Amino acid sequence: MQTDPARPESPSGYHPACGADPSRGGGPGSEILTVSVSLIVLIAVLAVTSFYSYLLFHTVVELVAVGIAIAVFTVAWNAREMGENSYLIVTGTGLLCVAGIGLVHALAYKGMGVFVGYDSNLPTQLWIASRYLLAGTLIAAPLMIGKKANPRWIFAGFAGVTTALFLSIFAFPVFPDCFIEGSGLTTFKVVSEYVISVLLAIGAVAFYRVRTTFSPRVARYLIAAILVLIPSELAFTLYISVYGIENMVGHLLMVLSYSLFYIAFVDIGIRQPCAVVFTDLARSERRQRRERDRLEQYLDIAGALFVVLDRDGLITLINRRASEVLGCPREEAVGEPWIERFIPAREQEQIRALFLGLIQGDIEPGGYARTPVLTVDGDERIIEWNNTVIRDEGGTISGMLSSGRDITEQQHAERALALANTKLNLLSSITRHDILNQITVALAYIDFSIEDSGVPGIRDNLGRARTAVDEIRNQIEFTRDYQDMGVKKPVWQRPEDLIRESAAELVLPADIQVRTDLEGLEIYADPMMRKVFYNLIDNAIRHGENVTEIRFSHLRSGQDLIILCEDDGIGIPDEEKEVIFRATYKKRHGHGLFLATEILAITGIVIRETGVFGEGAKFEIRVPNGGWRDGNTSNTRHP
């Protein structure tokens, strides 16, 4: 999906998505000129007709209004299921009913001879009834913007009102008189025309407030149509004879108004349906375009890379940061195959398998993956991606969104650091080996000296020296066990497997049992995590005195996981529960618990001792939320 910038709708109302022909006409100026000339010609012809025969003029005018109303209603009724608001169907149905009353008004006009026994009051009553209905329609229609009503109920409502008006005039003559022969218009009729004019003005204001529902072109014609009706009504307050010039002007303005309704609803509605029938679609497209542009601005502000692919692996969206890293302008990148264009050949098969797995739903999205991308200049950058799928309204996967950050320099720094650590470890290993060799030689000479010396004081001093050298050897050997702590990245590990391996390495006495209840649990910790469990078991055996069982279990504490290590030995005195984890604690051999604390701290895990002295030791290892997961349930947490 190429992200074209939003364009304002053209004055002609052209909308590309509707298949309208932008070549029709020569622009808004020529269109207005054409419409103006056509209306002038129509009104001039009708005016000339009135001088030949006013009855002919009046009949033609009413038939034109009826024809336009039928045309508008036809468009509205056939489009009733296509829009998301009821404005068009209300207006179309209202105009149809108004035209129906107008047709009876034309047949009842003085001189037609259709309704025997009636004078000029009847057509005037019908006229006022139709005008009230028209004004009510134009006020009610804007209120239906954004609402979806049943078209049949709308039709039934208008039909009911129209029937009631007919009954009030013909069957139950309660409708007030509007014209008296020899006297002219009644007060009710004149006041009604003013009231109707006010109602029409209200209708114009109501429509103006929701004009953005339609294209600017349609809105202009509709507002003009409503406004022209106001002087038309005022003209009908002035005539004394139903054949008077004021009456003719009122009818001509009515034709002009209906013609504007026709242009707005029928002419534009047929040639450019998005401007009228699909107003909600057009408005939705404009809104989506604005939202898309706003989203692109947000994505451009973000420092991360964003790339959206469709199901075929083609780029549909790429933000500025991604464009800069790839060295490829966005307009060139959109539509390109991501894997073939921006992934090195050696990685394409693996990335394609990952992409297909995500699109087909075989691989769950989430997690981070480091992959190289190929820039336009042929350079490679290392990007850490987080991939997720995009679903349509039906829940079907329609594409993939990848957000990433450029970690090329970080990767180089990590490699340099890893290489430096490797060299330091190698140097440390060689140095430690040489020191241990010299310590072995020194111990041998001390032992020889102790055997050859007969002086008690010298033998005591040599024994003390041997003890000191033994301590040095223990310290050197201890550094060998922990030289890799924090060097490698943390990984997911199963505590149950680590405990089993530690117990096997220690070769436990037959009377000591190690039990675990940690099946399926995994924790995110330094690769040296096994040394933590090794030291806990070793300390229990060495210092628990009467230990027969070491138990590992777990429990939940809020969102955290607590792994318990308990034994049935003598336990830890209260005054030593905290100091046993310090590097300066020398009461017991080695620094196992201190280094265990350091290993756990790498991934935010803490340890403490909470047992009761005399009943056994109890160590609590608290793994924070996000640092543990349970493979036996769907409640999986990621770091």
Task: Tell which of 406, 429, 464 closes a domain.
Answer: 406
Q: What is the mean pLDDT of the chain?
A: 81
The answer, yes or no, to whether residue 577 has pLDDT greater than 50, is yes
Domain membership of residue 447 (yes or no) is yes
For 334-363, how does the pLDDT look when each residue is reduced to its tens digit (9 = 90+)?
A: 999 999 999 999 999 998 988 898 888 888
Element (H, E) at 409: helix 408-452
- The pLDDT assigned to 35 comes to 66
The CA distance from 8 to 365, in Å, is 38
E strands present in 357-502: 368-374, 380-391, 397-406, 491-493
Domain membership of residue 83 (yes or no) is yes
Beta strand 368-374 with 380-391 is antiparallel
Here the CATH number for the domain that contains residue 565 is 3.30.565.10
The answer, yes or no, to whether residue 165 has pLDDT greater than 80, is yes
- The pLDDT assigned to 156 comes to 94
For 92-104, how does the pLDDT look when each residue is reduced to its tens digit (9 = 90+)?
A: 899 999 989 989 9
- Entry pTM: 0.45
Min mean pLDDT across 71-80, 271-280, 286-295 is at 271-280
Dig out the tokens for 383 from the structure: 């990007």
- Do residues 416 and 554 share a domain? no
Q: Name every residue whose Cβ is closer than 8 Å to that of residue 23 and which is 6 or more positions away in sequence.
A: none
Residues 219-227: contacts with CB under 8 Å, at least 24 apart: 221/260, 221/261, 221/263, 221/264, 221/268, 222/260, 222/261, 222/264, 224/260, 225/257, 225/258, 225/260, 225/261, 225/264, 226/138, 226/200, 226/257, 227/200
- The pLDDT assigned to 28 comes to 53
Distance, first Cα to last Cα, the chain: 34
The residues facing 373 across adjacent strands are 381
Domain membership of residue 639 (yes or no) is no
The CA distance from 256 to 312, in Å, is 55
Here the CATH number for the domain that contains residue 372 is 3.30.450.20
Q: Name every residue whose Cβ is closer than 8 Å to that of residue 25 and which is 6 or more positions away in sequence.
A: 12, 31, 34
- Do residues 214 and 151 share a domain? yes
CA distances from 359 to 58, 395, 396 (A): 69, 12, 9
The CA distance from 60 to 46, in Å, is 8
Using a pLDDT cut of 70, give the percent of the chain over it. 81
- Do residues 599 and 622 share a domain? yes
- Do residues 255 and 332 share a domain? no
The residue ranking higher by pLDDT, 467 or 552, is 552
Res. 19 pLDDT band, cuts 50 70 90: very low
The answer, yes or no, to whether residue 322 has pLDDT greater than 60, is yes
- Do residues 88 and 235 share a domain? yes
- Do residues 225 and 316 share a domain? no
| C-alpha neighbours within 13 Å on the C-beta side of residue 32 | 10
**Would you list the DSSP string of 155-177?**
HHHHHHHHHHHHIIIIIS--SPP
The CA distance from 61 to 106, in Å, is 9
- Residues listed for the chain: 639
- The pLDDT assigned to 561 comes to 93
CA distances from 219 to 211, 267, 288 (A): 6, 14, 21
Element (H, E) at 538: helix 529-543
The residues facing 549 across adjacent strands are 513
Task: Tell which of 430, 457, 481 closes a domain.
Answer: 481
- Do residues 325 and 269 share a domain? no
Domain membership of residue 290 (yes or no) is no
- Do residues 278 and 308 share a domain? no
The residues facing 369 across adjacent strands are 385
- The pLDDT assigned to 3 comes to 39
Domain total of the chain:
4
Domain membership of residue 523 (yes or no) is yes
DSSP state of 471: H
Neighbour tally for 90: CB within 10 Å: 26
Domain membership of residue 296 (yes or no) is no
Domain membership of residue 95 (yes or no) is yes
Domain membership of residue 21 (yes or no) is no
The answer, yes or no, to whether residue 636 has pLDDT greater than 60, is no
- Do residues 241 and 369 share a domain? no
The residues facing 386 across adjacent strands are 368, 403
Q: Name every residue whose Cβ is closer than 8 Å to that of residue 83 and which is 6 or more positions away in sequence.
A: 277, 278, 279, 280
Domain that holds residue 93: 35-285
Beta strand 184-185 with 179-180 is antiparallel
Here the CATH number for the domain that contains residue 201 is 1.20.1070
- The pLDDT assigned to 606 comes to 93
The answer, yes or no, to whether residue 293 has pLDDT greater than 80, is no
Dig out the tokens for 249 from the structure: 């002007």
For 223-266, how does the pLDDT look when each residue is reduced to its tens digit (9 = 90+)?
A: 998 899 888 888 877 765 556 677 788 888 888 888 888 888 77
- Do residues 495 and 620 share a domain? yes
Question: What is the torsion angle, in degrees rounded to the nearest 10, for the CA atoms of residue 316, residue 320, residue 321 and residue 323?
Answer: 60
Beta strand 368-374 with 513-516 is unpaired
Task: Tell which of 406, 422, 443 closes a domain.
Answer: 406
The CA distance from 189 to 176, in Å, is 8
- Do residues 41 and 70 share a domain? yes
Q: What mean pLDDT do residues 46-69 have?
A: 84
**Would you list the DSSP string of 290-359?**
HHHHHHHHHHHHSSSEEEEEETTSBEEEE-HHHHHHHT--HHHHTTSBHHHHHS-HHHHHHHHHHHHHHH
Res. 301 pLDDT band, cuts 50 70 90: low
- Do residues 201 and 280 share a domain? yes
